[in-house]
Amino acid sequence: MKLHQAKLQHSFFDTFKHRGDLHLSQVSPSGLQQPVLVSANRQLANELGLDPDCLDSEAFLQLMAGHITGEHFNPIALVYSGHQFGVWAGQLGDGRAITLGELPVNAPSDASGKPILWDIQLKGAGTTPYSRFADGRAVLRSSIREYLCSEAMHNLGIATTRALALVDSQTQVYREEVESGATVCRVAQSHIRFGSFEHFHYRNQPEAVKALADYVIQRNFPEWQNEDNKYRLMLENCVLKTAKMIAQWQAVGFNHGVMNTDNMSIIGDTIDYGPFGFFDSYDPEHICNHSDTQGRYSFKNQPSVGLWNLNALATALTSLISNSDLVSALKQYEPEYLNQYRTIMASKIGLEQYQSDDENLINQLLELLQINKVDYTIFFRSLADFSTNNIDIRDQFIDREGFDSWAEKYRIRIAQQKLSAQQRKQRMNAVNPKYVLRNYMAQAAIEAAEQGDYSEVNLLLSILQSPYDEHPQAQKYAGLPPDWADQLAVSCSS
């Protein structure tokens, strides 16, 4: 097998060993019984430089199922804390995630010339010291959702953890009912969270906060290691990357659902896919998490929650960064978010450049979409045909006169550009996906997989890895969702 034991390095573990193992615990995964490979992500394997033949091997299956043997592995779980639904929750940690090691991947674009390290992590491989009386397992349905959504987000151009493999098994897991245990192999350039820094800050361990920050900089930003202001640079980068990430969520209609500080990545990746959801009809009040009874993590609240979480991170870094630098870094969030969001939304309606008057045009459109309960993804995809097929676009609205009024303003605006209708369509189809992972699509894959049919998982993976293409074999997922889709609910346990 070429994943492979010799390629997994131990620098992550050794980094903290001489600091007293404050940041992690060594663990032993508990392998799944009678594992079956549901899907292997060949696109990601290729990017990681893995031998594609290894994905079909028995050794790969056993490793992905948590059967760890040999001296090459030294699995760990990380400790962290966090604010959950705005309330300090104290110590948390990797309760069902176990990091096997790091995979060095050569990246020509890396100016340092050093390989980029990717964590190889199993989710659902048994208990850790941070499982808090839980079983450390993941069920098949939630594992399918994370596997598919992380790849969907990546191919939409949104920073995210990735997923290399998905494994089903005969291991019984007890939730509301007995379900199949599963594992997802999660891959990321960092699994360090805002809550990782909060953990040591609130334990009054500034030396551990510093050790963690030094590790993040050494691992992810080696060009800053000798800079006097390296900690401020780390925070500023996190502020800007988080602002961009959330702007992209808002533009594509993605609701994370559980934006606790322990679910926020220090490098600005989307992390921890639980009760997420993509829009069907546009609704800024949408709450995708059935457990979020107060609506803290509603779609419209995501930008402000992002800033709240960054404030929590800044508080945890007060031993490293001056108050004035903390404030300066946080002040960059709102303008960066607005710049990113406005730029993306302008491109979604076919504008080459955002102008100040375009905000009214975009906001009026979103208001029309909300009032008329128009499907978000289908509308923006169809808008590319505005000049040749206005009837189909207009018919998506109950208030056709309202759409006509907006369309006339839009017609005047796009006439100010030099783009031809065909050029505009090509640009719009490159930023407005044909497919996103709607809940009913994931549910169809889950129901088939629970019967032992994994073909729908792999069909969706292939679609979501090129979401801007037409995919004639998947037209059943290109139209309006079925009526029963409104009845689907997901929670933190999903």
CA dihedral 86, 87, 91, 96 (to 10 degrees): -50
At 218 the three-state DSSP class reads: helix
What positions carry a catalytic annotation?
A: 262
- 289 contacts 219 by C-beta, under 8 angstroms: no
Return d(Cα 419, Cα 353) in angstroms, integer.
12
| H/E element, 316 | helix 302-316
Contact between 102 and 117 under an 8 Å Cβ cutoff? The reply is: yes
C-alpha closest to that of 124 among 163, 82, 84, 176: 163
Q: Cβ–Cβ contacts within 10 Å for residue 69, how many?
A: 11
The answer to whether 314 touches 217, Cβ cutoff 8 Å, is: no
The residue written with tokens 């056993």 in the block is: 62
- Write the CB contacts of 93 (distance below 8 Å, at least 6 apart in sequence): 77, 78, 79, 80, 128, 129, 130
Please give the full DSSP string across 331-370, using - where no structure is assigned. TTHHHHHHHHHHHHHHHHTT-SS--TTHHHHHHHHHHHHH
